Chain A
Amino acid sequence: MAKKKNKEKTRIHFDTDWKYDPAPESVEHIKVNKQYEHYIGGSWKSPNEGKYFNTVNPASGKRLARIASGSTSDIDDAVAAARKAFGPWSALPGKERGKWLFKLARQIQERAREFAVIESLDGGKPIRESKAVDIPLAAAHFFYHAGWADKLTYAFPGRNPEPLGVAGQIIPWNFPLLMAAWKLAPALATGNTVVLKPAETTPLTALKLAELIDDLGFPPGVINIVTGAGDTGAALVQHPDIDKIAFTGSTDVGKEIQKSIAGTGKKLTLELGGKAANIILEDAAIDQAVEGIINGIYFNQGHVCCAGSRLLVQESIESKVIKKLKDRMSTLVIGDPLDKNTDIGAINSRAQLKTIQKYIELGAKEGGEIFQCEGSLPDGKGFWCKPTLFTGLAQSSTLVKEEIFGPVLAVQSFRTLEEALTKANNTPYGLSAGVWTDKGAKIFKMTTKLKAGIIWANTYNKFDPASPFGGYKESGFGREGGLHGLSAYVTF
């Protein structure tokens, strides 16, 4: 049979009459107050300086609530409450602390839908991800650490683990409740008390968590939540009565924190930026690898510190992979974060959207070839960005070097495994990496030589509370999750 070769016409047309109708998650059961105060010493406290800021829905640009802005004196109050609570809390038998954490975990599970909807309202992430990832994993972290609370002497055999005291914890806006869980659970399980500062653009789920803690009748002062922006965080970091700082956020801020507490004796863990290489070898299961690359970079609009933002593809399969990536990108549904069919939601904030747009312009200026899928973005005043792919970049291109924290993938090719390793490791960051190959031997060779804290093989963005998460180099130090995460909150 004569089959004509006609490669030009072999495009897949995803535009069809069969559109998916809107399938929005109901918000009727959601209660968001007009205004939120700090949660200090077991009660809600208005900010001492009386200042508030707005948190907005990034899909509409509309205000969701007024949020208390924390001053130095609010931080003083919160640290004092945490210090007061530390004695009794750390003296509780581990079993009792475990019970509190189990209660918290169960409550998060029971109110999972409410948390998921608020997470998507406040942060712009697709409801599908909030429901499937953020909230269940947050509950899982509390469950996991609840189990350790009365087994600390088994976690550190032959040693005598003691809590550090008061922990100051600053969390980012990309996984608000999940990051709160990562920070709170190990600190509480080991007997520390906490002052937590959520990110200013996404404080709502942490404040909902405070409501839940209040409903449960948690011992006052064990968990204090002070909201605010960078200044509030700085006040917390610099407070003299803090024993430990745990920070997740940008590398720049991480460096500032490290400088400012140098010589104070405060313990520090930093989980900072990344520029992960996702490496796809020619013998990989290509369609599944393509899916993994899409998931690696476009998950949560690319607002993921461990996002696979650099794709290194072996030259022999480069054109095939890029074609498949483009076709796959064309099927991503962009729009209302609360729609069950949405794959790509809203960019978290106007400021972040500007940053991403700046990088996209820069990529084109530096000679990169841009691809974005066809179709229009949602109307209105929300913050939207199309999934973007750049080819034709060099190792020295800004888009290859710097963390963008948005849905922008930088594609490069390589020829040998050594070249892939060199390129992958040639970055100041070292948080995560991915390898896609059908050969076990290549997985071992690559993963032992990649300088990254988390390396996935033939999968990406898999998290488990038992598995330590953290980086090398300018991606920070210290681990969260597993025994390693626990050890960051004890002294011997």
Chain B
Amino acid sequence: MNPEKIESPTIDQVGVEERVAKLKSRSIKKDSKVHALKMAMSMIDLTTLSGDDTPGKVRQLCYKALHVHDAYPGLPTVAAVCVYPSMVKVAARHLEGSGIQVASVATSFPSGQSNLSLKLEETRYAVEEGASEIDMVISRGRFLAGDVQYVFDEIATVKEACGKAHLKVILETGELSTLDNVRRASDLAMHAGADFIKTSTGKIAPAATLPVTLVMLEAIRDYYYETGVKIGMKPAGGIRDSKTALQYLVTLRETLGNDWLSPDLFRFGASSLANDLLMQLEKQRTGRYQSADYFSLD
């Protein structure tokens, strides 16, 4: 397919911001809040992506993923643990049989400034090590230079290299500068074979924002209208508290409806969000806020 021919509608930023302001004003209370907090927990890709990650640190994170719900009976587990390729093996070993996925970033994360063969090699390596989900970055420089064919082919070949692993395509919206670009990159990624589209690496500010997420969700909706295929969405970076997470879920619910309210089609790339969700759930259960010291920091 010729990616130049993909038709993306223009985006009116003022209109997007107005819509987001309305969505943010939804009041989520009581049972509906508990329901949403649990749902948010089930959608978390618990993430550590640092230069100083060690097997020990990753082991701790996996332990947390497995036991986050000990304190709160009936709580779903997080969806995945997301690490660098070199840590995939450790994570896979600790999460085996738990149903929690191992996601790995790849393709010269976070900048993507390398050549395609190395990116493919890295992708295959991560999959071989045991990753069932690959979070790739697109070449933003190529995209901004207008070389959409390159970006399209890049995504399509990485998708091939993934084999059975799911592919999440990181657009790094903080570097795309306009919502029009976010929309075009979303359409490009979906047509090239993305299973998920994802906002950010978390290394660039701004990371995920609601306007960007809304535009991407609307792109997913149009793609669904057109093809009947459901693409997933993953906002990542900057979503630290329950209130913000609920705003994302409201936006999701009122844009894509019930089918997307599932970890199969929506994820949060976040690390500290899990603790805040736990704290809010405890607040709902006991009527009081507990000290942050009662929630383990991993």
Contact = CB atoms under 8 A, between A and B. Distances in A.
26 contacts: A3-B227, A3-B228, A4-B227, A4-B229, A5-B227, A6-B228, A10-B224, A10-B225, A10-B228, A12-B259, A13-B258, A14-B257, A15-B257, A15-B258, A16-B253, A18-B249, A20-B32, A21-B33, A284-B10, A285-B10, A288-B14, A291-B19, A320-B225, A331-B254, A340-B27, A458-B12
A317 to B, nearest CB: 9
Contact of A458 (B15, B29, B221, B259): B15
Interface in A411-426: none
Contacts of B226: 10
List of 6 A-B pairs having minimum Cβ-Cβ separation, nearest first: A288-B15, A23-B27, A6-B228, A285-B12, A16-B258, A288-B12
B15 A13 contact: no
Nearest to B33: A21
Contacts of A292: 15
Contact of A128 (B25, B31, B254, B257): B25
A351 interface: no
A459 interface: yes
Interface in A71-129: 128
Interface string A353-364: 000000000000
A287 interface: yes
Contacts of A286: 9
- Counting chain A CB atoms within 10 Å of each CB, the highest count among B11, B15, B29, B36 belongs to B15
A340 B261 contact: no
Given A17-B35, A21-B29, A21-B31, A5 B228 contact: yes
B257 A18 contact: no
Contacts of A19: 32
B184 to A, nearest CB: 13
A288 B35 contact: no
A18 B39 contact: yes
B11 A288 contact: yes
Given A16-B258, A17-B35, A23-B28, 13 more contacts: A5-B227, A6-B228, A10-B226, A12-B257, A16-B261, A18-B32, A18-B39, A18-B249, A21-B31, A285-B11, A285-B15, A340-B25, A340-B26
A13 B254 CA distance: 10
Interface string B1-29: 00000000111101110110000011111
Interface in B260-286: 261
B288 to A, nearest CB: 20
B219 to A, nearest CB: 9
B256 interface: yes
A323 B225 CA distance: 9
The residue among B9, B14, B228, B261 with the most chain A CB atoms within 10 A of its own CB is B9
Contacts of B261: 16, 18
Contact of B229 (A3, A17, A22, A341): A3
A332 B295 CA distance: 38
Interface in B132-154: none
B28 A20 contact: yes
Nearest to A295: B18
A18 B15 contact: no
Contact of A341 (B18, B26, B39, B218): B26
Given A18-B32, A21-B31, A341-B26, A12 B221 contact: yes
A7 interface: yes
A13 B221 CA distance: 12
Residue picked from B193, B249, B257, most chain A C-beta under 10 Å: B257
Q: How large is the interface on A (under 10, 10 to 19, 20 to 34, 35 or more residues)?
A: 35 or more
A283 interface: yes
A1 interface: yes
A450 to B, nearest CB: 20
Interface in B114-148: none
A344 B28 CA distance: 18
A459 B193 contact: no
A438 interface: yes
Nearest to B256: A12
Contacts of B15: 285, 287-289, 291-292, 458-459
Interface string A274-316: 0000000001111111011000000000000000000000000
Contact of A4 (B12, B16, B228, B253): B228
Contacts of A22: 29
A219 B33 CA distance: 51
Contacts of B36: 18
A9 interface: yes
A136 to B, nearest CB: 14
B258 A14 contact: yes
Contacts of A288: 11-12, 14-16, 19
Contacts of B35: 17-18
A5 B228 CA distance: 6
A13 B259 contact: yes
Contacts of A1: 159, 193
Interface string B26-49: 111111110110010000000000
The interface centre, meaning the residue of B12, B18, B30 with most chain A CB atoms within 10 A of its CB, is B12
A13 B257 contact: yes
Most buried by B among A16, A21, A284, A287: A287
A287 B220 CA distance: 12
Contacts of B33: 21
Contacts of B11: 285, 287-288
Contacts of B27: 20, 23, 340-341
Nearest to A287: B218
Contacts of B28: 20-21, 23
Contacts of A291: 15, 18-19
A149 to B, nearest CB: 33
Contacts of B10: 283-285, 438
Contacts of A17: 35, 258
Nearest to B179: A285
A447 B218 CA distance: 29
A126 to B, nearest CB: 11
A341 B226 CA distance: 31
A461 to B, nearest CB: 11
Nearest to B160: A1
Nearest to A328: B254
Nearest to B28: A20
